[in-house]
Structure 1
Amino acid sequence: MATATNGMLQKKYQYIDIGANLTDPMFRGFYHGKQSHADDFDEVLKRATEQGVRKMLVTGSNLIESESAIQIARNNRKLLYATVGVHPCHSLDIENSLDPDKYLQDLEALALTGKKEGTVMAFGETGLDYARLHYAPADIQRKYFIKQLDIAQRLHLPLFLHSRDCAKDFEAILVPRLPKLPKRGVVHSFTGTVKEMESLVALGFSIGVNGCSLKTEENLEVVKAIPLDKIMLETDAPWCEIRPSHASSKFLKKNNEDVELPPVVKKEKFVMGSMVRGRCEPCAISQVASVVAALKGVTVEELCEIAWKNCVSMFGFDEEM
């Protein structure tokens, strides 16, 4: 079972985190453009692997971040892999570029190169987000979601999708293109309804679950209903941590042995080796797994095995559990 080592629990559980924003400056000590503490990126990776994380998808949210995600994956082969795409909230990055067509061509070329070298496992993050229209208007989001799906049809990679408060338009755009997207993909950080989840699953998509998917009692009912063969685990680090105010937190209190993490400090009192308050890390996937296992009525070990197989089947990672 579990034994303590340097404040961490060494477990038999092994995780794949399908969504980690490791290009975020927070993992280099920068917050709001100002460096608050030393770069602890390597420590973040160390904590993840000590907690049992064996694979991570580093999310690309625009062209620059996708390039960075690939470089990070190249520097950490077998552990890190990348996605390439433009998040709906970054749609104006394309629209306002000097040449939107060239931007999309460069995005496709980057994804193709990464696919060939084995660093890129999915195309995205792409989709729609009507909850944050202050970042990009809905019509611009739809325009570039469609254009990115055109690229995806040529790449033959699984999709890494974002859907927030947009279910009708999201499916209206996706469904006609599904015959040319046989690998489907995952709708990550899912916060929709049971009906919306069931519709996506019926279309062949998997569902990614993180702390934001576990905030409310309604969220928990959705996760209970996700078929086990369609569930994937993620942290969306540095976002989407499980907080004490979340409905899911009660499960952590009941099952603390499985979710022990290193000490947490404020960034102003940073100590190398500690986690930073408010900055979610991939090692916290153990908390997500603990909650989801409790909701699904399976052990954490069983859930990890199922989620691992789901991810290997979709993304083609080169190692078995």
Structure 2
Amino acid sequence: MSSETTAASMSTTTASQNPADPVLAGLKTQEAHPVSKKLRYADIGINLSDPVFRGNYHGKQSHEDDFTHVLRRALEAGCEKLMVTGSDLKQSTYAVQIAKDHPGLCYATVGVHPCSAKQFDSYRGGPSALLSAIGELAKRSKASGHTVAFGEIGLDYDRLFLTPKDQQLKYFEAQLDLAVEIQLPLFLHSRAASEDFERLVSARLPQLPKKGLVHSFTGSVEEMKRIVEMGLDVGVNGCSMKTEENIEVVRQIPLDRLQIETDGPWCEMRPSHASAKFLKDAPPLPKAVKKERFSPGFMVKGRNESATIPHVAYAIAKIKDISVEEVCEATWNNSIKMFGLGEVSK
């Protein structure tokens, strides 16, 4: 997607800023599912800068831009805060723009994902130029209140074919140092790299009062416990509850260290996942249709979005044998405490 297209398609604002908007007007007060009235969610991991949320799949425009409908469904489901993930300089810039266009609802993260870390060596001007550009974007957008975390950064040894280990390690360490300099909490990624990941992160955490979060967590119980002992929170989404082993990890995450996310457009919860049996009492999701049969107001099959976050909370509640109200209250407070999101922490 070109920067011109992105800028043009991101020109809408939230209802509070533009009540005349026919899509977003009145969202804060309109009726939703009965349960949604008393539950609120913060989706701390949603990739809204992905072209699929503009109807573009693999470079092909398959249906009209329905970005504002995605936001509308999120708010109708009770999702009042969205953290838009930055995965490289371009996507981080998009994330900041979305946060600017939707103040009070959307907030950005800025960073370079481990699978994209090879971009440092191919960047025009070299690695130092890209690091400087990322740092300047993070500083400016933190000062304006649009960026609330440094990330998505980390290590991914499951996909070394995308970026080799030596590049991942080098630029993860460089970005950690930048996060310390800017004083932003961390939004972290860790796959099959726990030893190196914990070594590098633990050395910086004493200099980061708000620590950070390991998002889309799929590691073992032992890895989760070490992460929590380091002072980090754990982000849970559909990918975090695929297997029975995943379910046991979620059961043992301390409630005061838990945050929830969708990681849309990925990590949807599926009937084949171990989490499915914990969704019997969950509210119905908006109707979804195939992208070839797209209609405004419907979700798109296979494209996860923030409107599905109630299912993450309901599954966690059943797994932990507590009320969904407890899950929502705890995760909301944990997210506000760490990232702010325009709210005052209790």
Please give the TM-score of this superposition, normalised by the length of structure 1. Answer: 0.95
Deviation at 1:178, TM superposition (A): 2.2
Give the equivalent residue in structure 1 for 2:161.
134
> Are 2:270 and 1:231 equivalent residues in the alignment?
no
| Contact 1:264–1:274 (Cα < 8 Å) also in 2 | yes
Query: What CA deviation, in whole Å up to 9, does each residue of 1:243-262 have, x standing for no partner?
Result: 1110001111x21xx33111
- Whole-angstrom CA distance in 2 between matches of 1:10 and 1:306: 16
**Matching of residues 283-298 of structure 1 within 5 Å:** 283-298=307-322
User: Residues 234-245 of structure 1: matches in 2 within 5 Å?
Assistant: 234-245=261-272
Please name the residue that 2:147 is paired with.
Answer: 120
Contact 2:289 2:298 in 1 (8 A): yes
Match of 1:83 in 2: 109
| Conservation of the 8 A alpha-carbon contact between 1:7 and 1:261 | no
- TM-score, normalization by structure 2: 0.88
Identity in percent: 54
Structure 2: 5+ residue stretches without partners: 1-29
**1:40 aligned residue:** 66
Deviation at 1:272, TM superposition (A): 0.8
Which range moved further: 232-241 or 289-298? 289-298
What count of residue pairs does the alignment treat as equivalent? 315
Alignment partners' CA distance in 2, 1:305 and 1:320: 14
Alignment match, 2:4: none
Counterpart residue identity of residue 73, structure 1: A
Q: In 1, are the aligned partners of 2:32 and 2:77 still within 8 Å (CA)?
A: no
Query: Does the 8 A contact of 2:107 with 2:341 survive in 1?
Result: no
Unaligned runs of 5+ in 1: none
Q: Given the alignment, which residue of 295, 298, 307 partners 1:274?
A: 298
Give the secondary-structure state (helix, strand or coil) at the position aligned to 1:48: helix
Matches within 5 A, 1:1-321: 10-98=36-124, 99-252=126-279, 254-255=280-281, 258-319=282-343
2:110–2:150 CA contact under 8 A, matched in 1 = yes
CA distance in 2, matches of 1:77, 1:97: 31
Residue pair 1:60, 1:86 contacting (<8 A) in 2 also: yes
With over 3 angstroms needed to count, the CA separation of the structure-2 counterparts of 1:158 and 1:106, relative to structure 1, is: same
Paired with 2:31 and 2:300, the residues of 1 have a C-alpha distance of 20
In the TM superposition, residue 73 of structure 1 has moved relative to its aligned partner by: 0.4
Q: What's the secondary structure of 1:162's corresponding residue?
A: strand
Q: Tell me the secondary structure at the aligned position of residue 319 of structure 2.
A: helix
CA RMSD of aligned residues (A): 1.5
